[in-house]
Structure 1
């Protein structure tokens, strides 16, 4: 998603506060609808406006929850395991996962999760870039 406000929020104060070392302009150059920022426990810390448009859930509902609240009966355990394993190694991961909108409709979500490292190479947060898969 090419959103100057989202890029400014992530690339500005949050990035400086946490000493993140990532090229946000490059990461955000791909078209994504939703940006989700979580802490190390994967609790949602911030979402962009595209989150509500894509999922139907307002930001104030999502903040404080884990993204797993979007999952349901058709969400693949294998995909969830691959995501966990990749994140546990400190690497970025891209997968297509079945999520559910607020209205109950399932959708395939192309998700790229980027671990955000500080200047000491310690992961402080995760940034998920999401869009509906074609």
Structure 2
């Protein structure tokens, strides 16, 4: 039997420890995604949305999902909200998306968004939004009204991501 030296053992096991860090991070992201999908599914089932048409399952992987009620109060924010804005989900629930706006946010674009919401039509806009720490970022928003299977408006949903091209 070969005699193993302690220095051989140490050198061979340094890389797997780093790999565990990546694995742990990946597992946490999967847990957060699963939890987000569960919450969206509960809202969807309660209000009888056509989930396939919304394509949330695919989009939630790469975009922040915000769901508001008809008063534009945030009732759901996916876990990606923290990475993009610095706010945790519980810090945005019960507030409106106005919390992300500030002096650099275009009044003209906000007016166009308000008009689309009032008319209950989809929109895609890019805004200068503000993170919790006060830094601005370009936020690309793709939003639309959500109707139940009877055709009654129940919520608004926005898929958001930081626009790196601007």
TM-score by length of 2: 0.72
- Of 84, 101, 110, which aligns to 1:54? 84
Q: Which residue of 1 aligns with 2:44?
A: 15
CA distances 1:22-64 after superposition (whole Å, capped 9, x unpaired): 5356355346431111100000111111001110011111111
1:96 aligns with 2:126: yes
Runs of 4+ in 1 over 6 A off after TM superposition: none
**Distance in 1 of aligned mates of 2:70 and 2:48:** 15
**Distance in 1 of aligned mates of 2:106 and 2:57:** 27
- Of 62, 67, 71, which aligns to 2:101? 71
**Distance in 1 of aligned mates of 2:45 and 2:62:** 23
Bigger shift: 17-26 or 40-49? Answer: 17-26
CA distances 1:61-83 after superposition (whole Å, capped 9, x unpaired): 11111110110001001111111
| Higher normalized strand content (fraction of residues) | 1
Q: Which runs of 5+ in 2 are unaligned?
A: 1-29
Q: Which runs of 5+ in 1 are unaligned?
A: none
After superposition, the Cα gap between the structure-2 partners of 1:83 and 1:28, relative to the gap in structure 1 and judged at 3 Å, is: farther
| Higher normalized helix content (fraction of residues) | 2
After superposition, the Cα gap between the structure-2 partners of 1:112 and 1:35, relative to the gap in structure 1 and judged at 3 Å, is: same
Offset of residue 109 of structure 1: 0.1
Count matched residues.
Answer: 132
Tell whether the 8 Å contact from 1:112 to 1:128 is kept in structure 2 after alignment.
yes
Give the greater-gyration-radius structure (CA): 2
**Distance in 1 of aligned mates of 2:56 and 2:42:** 17
